[in-house]
Amino acid sequence: MMPDEPSDALLIRVSGADHPGITADLMTLLDLTGTSVQDVEQVLVRGHLTLAVAIDRPGSDLTRLTGMLEHFGQERRLSVTLEEIPAPKGAAGGPRRGHGPGHALETELSAAELGAVAGAVVAAGANIERIVRLARYPVYAYEFLVRGADRVELQRLLAQASTAHSLDVALQPAGLERRAKRLVVLDVDSTLIQDEVIELLAQEAGCHHEVREVTARAMSGELDFAEALRARVRLLEGLDEAALDRARSRVRLTPGARTFVSTLKRLGYTIGIVSGGFTPFTDHLRSELRNRPRGRQQARMA
């Protein structure tokens, strides 16, 4: 089972009769050995599991990993092999985020994070039937198809995994209705963009601390949204128009936002953005995301 020649990456293949917990336990094993996961795919056909995990070469711990995988296979009565694979040329490493019976995104999904999602599924009494990677750059996204869980309990456990590992997880029914949806609406502040627009303006007005205090009071329930918004806008009184341009130039799209929007548009979706903030910023974002960036050759000719 030990690869003879070193390469950049290894592929673990697991196959055999399916039973709950295989994926979660394998990820726990990889986490214990400090092994980095590059990719995961899983399929279940008539009770027969095929699971493939691409990993970074663990270096000096390869012998330990090999032994643990052999024990894992024997204990579970599964076929487990480890083989060399060439690293994908030009693949972007890094960021990822997870999906449960829905999805997960992040800039770097570790075995522990994937295992947390898989473990939540098992703890909810469900079984993973399929794992498919939806994206690898600029963020990682996986879809888990699961069956057999109580939705409320699964949602609770996935929320715990999401909080513990800073993952974005969406839980959705798998069916034709989900596939037929063609409208996606995104919040702007701290979702489509990394910033809070009103805080960017507060920095221009020199009242950032005061605005954050009002925001904190609203978050704690002391003020309702409308009251808090009016209080924060009053603090911006006297701000000149040039400050809007300066603040707008500092807005940062969330990693993956542009790719997410362009991909959905290519698939025929309608995209909407909503904000309790300021139309000069939402209008700018709408214009920027509506226009596709030009290719390198076109850019040189401009």
Residues catalogued as catalytic:
187, 189
What gap in Å lies between CA 264 and CA 17, rounded to an integer?
37
Give the separation between CA 98 and CA 110, rounded to whole angstroms: 10
* Pairing of β 102-107 and β 127-135: unpaired
Q: Which residue has the tokens 């090999």?
A: 66
Nearest in space to 31 (alpha carbons), one of 136, 120, 113: 113
Count CA within 13 A, CB hemisphere, residue 237.
4
Q: How far is CA 62 from the centre of its chain?
A: 29
Give dist(CA 106, CA 139) in Å, integer: 5
Q: Rounded to an integer, what distance in angstroms lies between the CA atom of residue 105 and that of residue 127?
A: 21
